[in-house]
Structure 1
């Protein structure tokens, strides 16, 4: 197959989860002999078209700032979609690619890719990491209706949709394609990289890793930790940064056991995050919004006991299964579970074995099968 991905950001020059998925799947497909091209912004040094790990990177827009006041820039997304449309249209019209795979968020690249494919035989595949729905109210406030309309318009655009989890597929079916038309191909990780990550000189008994935003509920974790620290001589490391950082710093400072909590901020080296997971006994994240939850898989691969929130907007139950514990996203529930786990209670399934099913090799094989079905017309 000759495959093209359309994504304004490209890994490893920008290091988010969606672009890493494209990189991991793309490099493995290239190793299998498929031609892989990524259309994106020019974040790398050198010419606009280059080869990276067996894939062709083709810049169709210059480097740009992605965020405005801790929110993804709408103008950047529109600008990229407008710039990508003409060169992509030219390539697809000339039948240079067998299929085009568009990153859904921030939506506009999907619309541009569909326009570019009109009148051609090139199927458009999309990858949905989340469906925000009512979360737009929290994210955009008065501008939320615009976000909802754009998301719904994107969902109803003719496409071959892939969701990273069953819950994301269900949420997508509620606003767009039928559930039977949506394929599920999860996110993944390199389990060998997790197993060999160097542990830090000073680790923590409990860790959290993620963006410090409201629905991650790190304040609940801080309060629950403070309660169990009366009974257990344990430490907590919070990895990540975000708009909630200042508030959480103040929250940490107010704790009785503040001296046992470290706010580590964003760690530039991904392997440092994995090393902290390997050193910890427990990975705790009471987040109530997880379209997939790759940190749960990373922690399981590191042989951590995962404690996650049981919530209808989170795929934690689907990802973790019996290899971890689910709790109500409350201080009382999390405190009780931390206490039991620190007391020696373990999940019924092996977390390392659970994580193996999400290795990138297995995920790339699933993606290849689905992509081929789109090309063959059997989807």
Structure 2
């Protein structure tokens, strides 16, 4: 098959979950002999069209800043979408691609990709990582109605829909396609890479990794750890950066055992994150909003005892299953489970075995099957 991915950012030149998914699936499809092209911004060195790991990278817009005041730039998304329509349509009319796959966020590229298919019979496949709904109010404030409307329009655009989790599929069905028309294909990990990542010089007993934003509830983890540290000689490492970092560091300094907590910031080398997971005994992330929760899968593959939050807006229960612990997102519940895990409590299922289902090879096979069904009309 001949696949055209549409994404304003391209991995590894820009690192993020959506673009990494395209890279991992795309390179595996290319290894199988499929023709893969990514339409994106020109973040790589060299010519506008080049070959990278068996895939064709085709720049349809120049490199630019993606964020404005710590928020994804609406102007950037609109600009990329507008620039992508003509070149993608031209290559589709020349019968160069069998299908188009667009990663949903930031929405406008999906609408552009659909417009580009006009005049052709090329199917459009979309990959939904999250459905924000009421979270738009927190993210955009008075502009939230614009975000909600754009999300709804995108959801109702004719498409072959993939969601990365059941909770995302359920929420998407509330505003767009029927639930039985949405396929669920999870995000993936490289189990072998995780298990061979080099160990750090200094590890931590308890680890968090993720963006430091409010719904990750790192403040709860700090309080729970401080309570447990009164009876255990343990350490906590926090990997990540974000708008909550300054507040969290200030709160951390008030803890009784602040000297056992270290904020590591954003680690440029992904294998450094994996190495810290391998070194940790417990991975705790009491986040209440996860469209998938890739760090849970990574930590399970690394052999950690994983603790996630049991919350209706989080797919943690889908990812972890019985291979970790799910707790109410409160300090007391987290403290109790963290204490038990540090004392040797283990989940009823093997976390490493659970993680194998998310290996990129398995995910790419599922994607290949879905893409082919869109092409042959059997979706």
Q: Taking structure 2 as the reference length, what is the TM-score of the superposition?
A: 1.00
Correspondence for 2:335:
335
Distance 1:311 1:91 in 2: 44
Distance 1:182 1:331 in 2: 36
Correspondence for 2:33:
33
Map of 1:358-369 to 2, 5 A cutoff?
358-369=358-369
Q: Which runs of 5+ in 1 are unaligned?
A: none
Correspondence for 2:55:
55
Spell out, residue by residue over 1:112-139, the C-alpha distance to the aligned partner (whole angstroms, 9 max, x if none): 0000101211000000000000000110
Map of 1:83-162 to 2, 5 A cutoff?
83-162=83-162
Correspondence for 1:271:
271
In the alignment, is residue 322 of structure 1 matched against residue 319 of structure 2? no
Give, in angstroms, the shift of residue 94 of structure 1: 1.8
In the alignment, is residue 24 of structure 1 matched against residue 38 of structure 2? no
Distance 1:374 1:77 in 2: 26
Correspondence for 1:286:
286
Correspondence for 1:348:
348
In the alignment, is residue 43 of structure 1 matched against residue 43 of structure 2? yes
In the alignment, is residue 357 of structure 1 matched against residue 366 of structure 2? no
Distance 2:187 2:133 in 1: 21
Q: Which runs of 5+ in 2 are unaligned?
A: none
Correspondence for 2:371:
371
Q: What count of residue pairs does the alignment treat as equivalent? A: 379
Spell out, residue by residue over 1:152-197, the C-alpha distance to the aligned partner (whole angstroms, 9 max, x if none): 0000000001000000000000000000000011000110000000
In the alignment, is residue 227 of structure 1 matched against residue 223 of structure 2? no
| SS of 2:334 mapped into structure 1 | helix
Distance 1:74 1:251 in 2: 33
Give, in angstroms, the shift of residue 23 of structure 1: 0.2
Distance 2:138 2:15 in 1: 25
Distance 2:95 2:251 in 1: 57
| SS of 1:87 mapped into structure 2 | helix
Distance 1:279 1:71 in 2: 33
RMSD of equivalent CA atoms: 0.5
Distance 1:212 1:251 in 2: 13
Distance 1:108 1:93 in 2: 21
Give, in angstroms, the shift of residue 285 of structure 1: 0.2
Distance 2:220 2:57 in 1: 42
Spell out, residue by residue over 1:71-103, the C-alpha distance to the aligned partner (whole angstroms, 9 max, x if none): 000000000000001101111122210000011
Distance 1:142 1:41 in 2: 30
